[in-house]
Amino acid sequence: MMKLLCAPLCALAVVCISAPTFAALGGDASSVEADRASMKGALRVTPTVDYSLHEIQTSAGVVIHEYVSADGKVFAVSWRGDGIPDLRQMLGGYYGQFAQATSQPHYNHHHLAVRTTDVVVESSGRARAFFGRAWAPALLPQNFSVHDIR
Amino acid sequence: MRKLFALIPVLFLPLTGCSGGGGATTTTPPPPPPPPSQVIATPGPPNVESLTVDAGPNALTTPAVNTAFISVRVCVPDGTFSNCQTIDHVEVDTGSIGLRVIASGPPGGLLSPTMLPAEQGVATLAECLQFADGSSWGTVNVADIELPVSGEKATNVQIEVIGAPAAGSPPAGCPGNPENTVPLFGANGILGVGPFINDCNSVGDCTPRNPPTSAGYFTCPTPTTCTTTTTHLASSGTHPYQVQNPIVQFASHADGTLDNNGVIVELPPVSTSGAVGPVSGSLVFGIGTQGNNAISGATKLLADSGSGVISARLNSSTYPNSYLDSGSNATFFSDASLSACGGANNGFYCTGGSPVSESATLQGTNGTMLTADFSVADASTLFMNKSLVAFSNLGGPNSDGTALDLGLSYFYGRNVFTGLENPNVAPPYFAY
């Protein structure tokens, strides 16, 4: 994650521009490209009526799905592969709520389900076979079923 | 095919005593006898460890459920096995690889680099081991290991010391919710005896990657300057080694036998309303290596050599990424007709009145099929009596709609074999 400190120039501007963070959930479509680049993956986009599915496939075979709404926001993500991607990268601004919720003990190393005010995160799997998904309920397109986040 | 339980199956003893429900004085019916085909090996040398399902170490903030533990002796790696400490409540997990112990847990001062040397080849090797629910961060040290009841021994084993001060706090490269203390981890340690020979790459180096591999390694010249590093196959002879499945490092017995090709989890059946702890069984090392661990009548299901999964079919749906896993505390599968409990139990299914009976068909990559019948009861009802720790009919949702995860609830009353891969030669397998 990169953040540019506000340069003195910004004091003159109305808004400070910070460098793009590698953020997926809640981010815009350009954050998908940032994720793809940092994972050195190949991207394939499948449009549907209400959203487009951006699929990143890494050379190691890890597959990341980023679901982008008609107004360009990533409203859901999923991952499948032999490792779990950096959830700070995947959850972006929602990571803090997730970290807070998981600071409580949960004695199950192979399944996790977290629901906070703004984000749902589910993670499962064991050595070399992981799957997980996350979404921001407030950002889901109308008529979208979370069943389709996979 | 699904049917509700209307009658108690004739194989089991009729339920006696109170019918359950309400009150702390509910008596639990006696457990049914093991089916004639299950023989639980007696703990002792050369290869049978005592396995116990109970509420876990005292440090836990809530009791563990469906978690099986053994004790492990961790020793200074001088070959003498004379300077050791016993760590109790080490979770047995056929879904992960490697022996990991919590630094702040029972053995105290033994787990320091002056007692257990660091792995060679880099300045203080550290590891970030991914679990679905978080990461374990710690140093990789070398120890001699002895299983106290069976007497199985391994020398110069790379173990992860979770939360070791020399590794400092998890760095940016180890994301994932940290679980580096006993109350957060849920046990004093974990014995990962899953289907792979090591925790990262069975056929080559473990190289740093984004997204991370399920086991990522770091070198930490100081606790705050950890950077990613490559680890190697133990067979390469080049340190630092990846953390291996402890059973591959077992020593031969005096008679030349060696129990390094798999494990069997053997737990007795438990009552349908649950059992108080301890529930005692056996962890048997080796498959077909001693008189007590032959496959015999068990059916072998070959798994995918990369991911270790088999296929399952249940209620007209196919689950191509399925597995058996002693480290899962219920049977987890996605089923739109079942509802998750509300509140704190939302990781389990609440079925309302009667248990729901399920019949799955498992299939190995070799095409062999095997039935898996199980029941899903109402988790809230099961959990009403807080002294119950073992449940054969606990189920829960699985975020992965392609996976049927047969967890410890499925293990009661049957001996479950997890066969280790032979890389590039034979895939891992399950059997029961």
Show the tokens assigned to B223.
């606790």
Cα distance between residue B139 and residue B165, in whole Å: 8
Show the tokens assigned to B254.
């005096």
Instruction: Return the bridge partners of B266, or none.
Output: B282, B415
The answer to whether residue B182 neighbours chain A at the CB level (below 8 Å) is no
pLDDT grade, residue A32 (50/70/90)? confident
pLDDT of residue B221: 95
Cα distance between residue B101 and residue B107, in whole Å: 9
pLDDT of residue A17: 35
| Residue pair A89/A1 in contact by the 8 Å Cβ criterion | yes
The reply to whether A1 falls in a domain is no
pLDDT of residue B424: 95
The reply to whether A142 falls in a domain is no
- Asked if B95 and A109 come within 8 Å (Cβ–Cβ), the reply is yes
Cα distance between residue A137 and residue A24, in whole Å: 15
pLDDT grade, residue B41 (50/70/90)? very high
The reply to whether A146 falls in a domain is no
- Asked if A83 and B211 come within 8 Å (Cβ–Cβ), the reply is yes
The reply to whether A149 falls in a domain is no
Show the tokens assigned to B419.
């066969």
pLDDT of residue B414: 96
State the best of A58, A112, A128, A135 to mutate against chain B, taking most chain B CBs within 10 Å: A128
Q: Which residues of A touch B206 (CB under 8 A)?
A: none
Cα distance between residue B306 and residue B292, in whole Å: 30
In a 3-state reduction of DSSP, which class is residue B50?
strand
pLDDT tens digits, B173-227: 888 778 888 999 999 999 999 999 999 999 999 999 988 899 999 999 999 999 9
* B25 or A79, which is more confident: A79
Q: State the average pLDDT over residues B96-121.
A: 82
Beta strands in B163-250 (DSSP E): 189-193, 215-219, 227-228
From residue B110, give the alpha-carbon distance in Å to each of B36, B69, B99: 45, 21, 16
Q: Domain tally for chain A?
A: 1
Q: What is the nearest CA distance from A137 to chain B, expressed in angstroms?
A: 16
Q: B194 to chain A: nearest residue by CA? A: A127
| Residue pair B206/B231 in contact by the 8 Å Cβ criterion | yes
Q: Give yes or no for residue A58 having a pLDDT over 80.
A: yes
The answer to whether residue B127 neighbours chain A at the CB level (below 8 Å) is no
Domain boundaries, chain B: 48-249
How many CB atoms sit inside 10 A of residue B21's CB?
10
The reply to whether A12 falls in a domain is no
- Asked if B132 and A123 come within 8 Å (Cβ–Cβ), the reply is yes
Cα distance between residue A35 and residue B121, in whole Å: 33
Cα distance between residue B87 and residue B64, in whole Å: 17
Tell me which residue in B95, B176, B184 faces A84 most closely, judged by beta carbons.
B176
Q: B176 to chain A: nearest residue by CA? A: A87
Q: Which residues of A touch B65 (CB under 8 A)?
A: 107
Helix then strand then coil, % of chain A, to nearest 5: 25, 35, 45
From residue B337, give the alpha-carbon distance in Å to each of A114, B315, B349: 21, 11, 10
- Asked if B175 and A88 come within 8 Å (Cβ–Cβ), the reply is yes
Q: Give yes or no for residue B236 having a pLDDT over 90.
A: yes
State the best of A107, A115, A116, A150 to mutate against chain B, taking most chain B CBs within 10 Å: A107
pLDDT of residue B342: 87
CATH code for the domain defined by B48-249: 2.40.70.10
In a 3-state reduction of DSSP, which class is residue B319?
strand
pLDDT tens digits, B355-406: 999 999 999 999 999 999 999 999 999 999 999 999 999 999 999 999 999 9
Q: What is the nearest CA distance from A14 to chain B, expressed in angstroms?
A: 32
Q: State the average pLDDT over residues B312-323.
A: 97
Q: What is the nearest CA distance from A73 to chain B, expressed in angstroms?
A: 22
The reply to whether A150 falls in a domain is no
Show the tokens assigned to B185.
């981890």
Q: Which residues of B touch A127 (CB under 8 A)?
A: 95-97, 192, 194-196, 199, 214, 308
Q: Which domain holds residue A79?
A: 17-134
- Asked if B403 and A38 come within 8 Å (Cβ–Cβ), the reply is no
The reply to whether A56 falls in a domain is yes
List B residues 355-414 in contact with A (Cβ-Cβ < 8 A). Answer: 396-403, 405, 407
Complex ipTM: 0.87
Cα distance between residue B232 and residue B300, in whole Å: 31
How many CB atoms sit inside 10 A of residue A146's CB?
13
pLDDT of residue B172: 85
Instruction: Return the bridge partners of B145, or none.
Output: B74, B154
Name which of B54-68, B173-187, B298-312, B387-401 the model is least confident about: B173-187
- Asked if B210 and A39 come within 8 Å (Cβ–Cβ), the reply is yes
End-to-end CA distance of chain A: 25
Q: Which residues contact B9 (CB under 8 A, 6 or more apart)?
A: none
Q: What is the nearest CA distance from B78 to chain A, expressed in angstroms?
A: 31
The reply to whether A5 falls in a domain is no
